[in-house]
Amino acid sequence: MIAQFWNPLTADGRAALDALVTRLGADHCVCRRYKLLMIATLAVIPLLVVFKKAAGGGSPDHTIAAE
C-alpha cells in the first residue's frame, strides 16, 4: 500500500514524495536553528558572572553625590 502511495512513476506518488522531502527538510532546518540558538545561549551564560550586580556596594540614592 505504501509503495503504491509513494510510487515515483505516478504523478500522485511524486507529489507525495515531494511533500515528504520538503517537510523533512523544513524540520531539519528548524532543528539546526534551535541547536545554533542553544549553543549561542550557552556561550553567553558565562557573561552573567562578569556583569553581575554588586551586592550592597554603593548607595542607590545619587542625590547625595550631587550636593
- Give the structural domain span for 37: 11-45
The backbone torsions φ and ψ at residue 46, rounded to the nearest 5 degrees and listed phi first, read -60, -20
**Per-residue pLDDT, 3:** 74
**Per-residue pLDDT, 18:** 92
Report yes or no: 13 and 5 within 8 Å, Cβ to Cβ.
yes
Residue 15 belongs to a domain = yes
Residue 54 belongs to a domain = no
Number of domains in the chain: 1
Residue 39 belongs to a domain = yes
List the chain pLDDT tens, one digit each, 67 residues.
777 787 888 898 899 999 999 999 888 888 888 889 999 999 998 888 888 765 555 556 655 555 5
